Chains A and B, each alone.
Chain A
C-alpha cells in the first residue's frame, strides 16, 4: 500500500513539476523566477500535503484497524503482551503460516482486519489523490509572470534546513524525556534518599509489584564508588600519559615524527571499545590476576584494575588530542618571550605554556572523565556485576553503565522497579556527564576567546 501511495506521489510530483515549468515557460513577459522554480513550487504544493497525509493517516489507520480486529477477537487491547500475541496470530493467518487450525474468534478477527484494512488503504489512496490534485491546482493557478516562485521555494528549503538543525534539540529533548518520565515513576516506588544514599545495590532480587517499598536494594553508593574507582584508575593512566604525549607532540616532535605518531593515536582512538573490552577481559585481567598471585595477592578475575587500565589506554588519545589543541593555541610569542630569557624548553613548557593552557587542559580532563564515566563496553566485558562498596582496585566492582546494560538487555517487564531503576541510573549518568561537558565546553570557549 505504502509503495503504491509513494508511486502515486512521485508521479503527481513529476507531473506537477513539468506542468508548472511548462506554464511558466509559456507565459509571456519577464518572469521573476526561472521556470524550474515554478515547477518546483507546484511539485512542493503536491509533495508536502501528500506526505503529511501519509505520515498522519498510516499510523492512525493501522491503530483503527487493529483495535477493531482485536475487538472482534475478544482480546483486551490494553494488555501489551496479549495484544501483540493476538496481532501476531492475525498476521500469521493472513500470511498462511498459522500453526494449527485458527479458532472461530481468530477467523472473525482476521476477516475484520483484512476488510477494514482494505477500506482504510483505499481511503488513504483516494485522500492522497484528492489532496495531491488540490495541491496541484493551488500551485498551478498561482503561476504568473510576477509570481515569486523562487522566493517561495527558497523559503521552504530554509525551513527544511532549520528543521534539520533542530533535530539536535529534538534529540536532547528526546533523551531528557526518555529518562525523566521513567525516573519519576521509579521514585514513586523507591524513595530518592534511599536511591542516592543507600549502600546496597541488588536489583536482581527486585521488589515485586505487590511488595512495594519493602526493600532498600536500590542504593547507588556502591555504583558511584565503582564508577569512581575505575574512572580514577583510568585517569591516573590517561592523564599523565596523554598530557606528556601531547606536550611532546606539540613542543618537541619534528614534523616527521608527528606524521608517524598522529596515526598511531588516531588508530587507537578508532579501535571500537568492544575490542578493547575483549582485550581487557581475555588478556589484561588474567595477566593481572597471574601477577597478583605471584606476589601473593588475591585478585578478582574481573578486577577494577584491569578495566581501569584498558579504559585509561582508551582515553589517552582523547586526552592527548584535546591537550595538543589547547597547547597549540598558546601563542608562540609567549614561548619566544620565555626562550629569549634563556630558559630551556622544558622550563618554558612547565612555567609558561602549561600555566597558560591550564584552563584548556582542565576542560580536556573533564571531558575525558565524562567519557570514562559513560564508557560501557569495556566495563561490561571486564568489570563485574557485583556491587561491592570498595576502593580496592583488585576487587570486582560494578558501574552505572554495567548496571544499565545488565538490567535492560534481554526481556524486561516495563513497570518493575528494576527496569525503572535502569532509567534512573541513565538519568544520573546523563546529567552528570552533561554538567561536566557544559562546564568543560564553556571553559574551552572562554579560553579560546582569550587567545584569539
Chain B
C-alpha cells in the first residue's frame, strides 16, 4: 500500500483570525455531573465554522465529556446530567423541543476505537442515508456511498470488495470507514474522539491528512492526547484540566505563548 508519509501541515492559518466572527457552536456555562461526580465545570467556548478545533488535556480532564455533549451522546448514560447552554447555529441543542435524532444527523461522530458495524462495507456507509431516507433510489444510494468512501480516502482500497465485512479491514481502514459512514449523511459538524489512539503511525498520518481535507466542508472537533497531533491538524486548541476549560485560542498561541501557567506546564510535559 503506498502511503503519504509526511504529515500534512495545517498551514493555512491566515484566515484563522476571522474564524470566530460567526461561531458555529457557542457553549455557555456547561456543567456535567455523572451521579455525584462533577465532571465538567462551567465550560464556555466558541467553535468556528469549517475549521478544526482540538481539545487537549490529561486523561479524565473532561474533554471527551464536553465533546459528547455537543451531539448529546451523554443522553445514553443514565446517570449523566448536563446543564448550561450549547448553541449550534443559534439553536439550543438542549432545548426540550429539539429532536436528538435530527441533531445527531447534523453532528456526526467518530469514536476512539473503530466501531464498524458487523455488516458489509457498503452497508456500513449506506446505513445513515438509509435510516434518514436520504437516497430516493438504489443508484442514488450507491452514489452517496461512492462519494463518501472517496472523500474518506478509502474508495481505491475497497472498491472491489464493497460486499466484504467492515470488520475485516485493518484498523486504519476501519477508522476511515467510520469517517465515511459519518460523512455519508452530510453532517455539518464531525466530532472525533481520539480517532487515532488505536492506530499505528502510518494510519494516523493518513487520518490526519484526511481531517485536513475534510476541513473544507465540515466543522471538525477533535479530542486528542497527542499535542503533536493537535499542533498538526488544528487551527484552534482548547486545553482542559480537571473538568475546567483552562485556555482556548489559536493553536499557534496555545503552543507558543499560552497565557495560563497550567497550559504551559502541560505543553512542556511537566504533567499529563
Chain A interface (Cβ < 8 Å from any Cβ of B)? 254-255, 331, 333-344, 347, 351-352, 355-356
Q: In the bound complex, how far is the Cα of B131 from the Cα of A341, in angstroms?
A: 9
Judge whether A352 and B111 touch: CB under 8 Å.
no
Q: Tell me the smallest distance from the CB of B7 to a CB of chain A, in Å.
A: 27
Q: Which of A335, A337, A355, A356 contacts B178 (CB 8 A)?
A: A337
Stretch with Cβ within 8 A of A (4 or more), from B15-23, B100-108, B243-251 = B100-108
- Specify the chain A residue showing the minimal Cβ separation from B104: A342
Q: Tell me the smallest distance from the CB of B179 to a CB of chain A, in Å.
A: 12
Q: Does B259 contact A (CB under 8 A)?
A: no
Q: In the bound complex, how far is the Cα of B77 from the Cα of A339, in angstroms?
A: 12
Q: Which of B78, B117, B132 contacts A352 (CB 8 A)?
A: B117
Contacts of B185 in A (CB 8 A): 341-342
Complex A-B: 7 CB contacts under 8 Å:
A336-B109, A336-B115, A340-B109, A340-B182, A341-B104, A343-B101, A351-B131
Q: Mark B125-143, 1 if CB is under 8 A from A, else 0.
A: 0011001100000000000
Contacts of A356 in B (CB 8 A): 117-118
Q: Which of A254, A336, A337, A342 contacts B131 (CB 8 A)?
A: A342
Judge whether B78 and A336 touch: CB under 8 Å.
no
Q: In the bound complex, how far is the Cα of B59 from the Cα of A244, in angstroms?
A: 39
Q: Check A342/B101 contact, CB under 8 A, given A337-B178, A347-B131, A351-B131.
A: yes
Q: In the bound complex, how far is the Cα of B109 from the Cα of A343, in angstroms?
A: 12
Q: In the bound complex, how far is the Cα of B101 from the Cα of A420, in angstroms?
A: 64
Q: Mark B49-91, 1 if CB is under 8 A from A, else 0.
A: 0000000000000000000000101001010000000000000
Q: In the bound complex, how far is the Cα of B118 from the Cα of A356, in angstroms?
A: 6
Chain B interface (Cβ < 8 Å from any Cβ of A)? 71, 73, 76, 78, 101-106, 108-109, 111, 113, 115-119, 127-128, 131-132, 178, 181-182, 185, 191
Judge whether B76 and A342 touch: CB under 8 Å.
no
Judge whether A339 and B78 touch: CB under 8 Å.
no
Judge whether B182 and A341 touch: CB under 8 Å.
yes
Q: In the bound complex, how far is the Cα of B119 from the Cα of A347, in angstroms?
A: 15
Q: Check A331/B115 contact, CB under 8 A, given A337-B178, A341-B128, A351-B131.
A: yes
Contacts of B119 in A (CB 8 A): 355
Q: In the bound complex, how far is the Cα of B116 from the Cα of A341, in angstroms?
A: 12
- Specify the chain B residue showing the minimal Cβ separation from A357: B118
Which interface residue of A336, A337, A339, A347 has the most chain B CB atoms within 10 A?
A337
Q: Which of A254, A331, A342, A351 contacts B103 (CB 8 A)?
A: A342
Q: In the bound complex, how far is the Cα of B115 from the Cα of A334, in angstroms?
A: 6
Q: In the bound complex, how far is the Cα of B78 from the Cα of A338, in angstroms?
A: 18
Contacts of B113 in A (CB 8 A): 333
- Specify the chain B residue showing the minimal Cβ separation from A347: B131
Q: In the bound complex, how far is the Cα of B228 from the Cα of A150, in angstroms?
A: 61
Judge whether A340 and B127 touch: CB under 8 Å.
no
Judge whether B105 and A342 touch: CB under 8 Å.
yes
Judge whether B76 and A337 touch: CB under 8 Å.
no
Q: In the bound complex, how far is the Cα of B150 from the Cα of A60, in angstroms?
A: 84
List of 7 A-B pairs having minimum Cβ-Cβ separation, nearest first:
A342-B105, A342-B104, A340-B109, A333-B115, A337-B115, A341-B128, A343-B131
Judge whether B117 and A340 touch: CB under 8 Å.
no
Contacts of B73 in A (CB 8 A): 336, 339-340
Contacts of A344 in B (CB 8 A): 101, 131
Q: In the bound complex, how far is the Cα of B206 from the Cα of A249, in angstroms?
A: 41
Q: Tell me the smallest distance from the CB of A328 to a CB of chain B, in Å.
A: 15
Q: In the bound complex, how far is the Cα of B115 from the Cα of A331, in angstroms?
A: 9
Q: Check A342/B115 contact, CB under 8 A, given A255-B78, A335-B76, A347-B131.
A: no
Q: Tell me the smallest distance from the CB of B86 to a CB of chain A, in Å.
A: 16
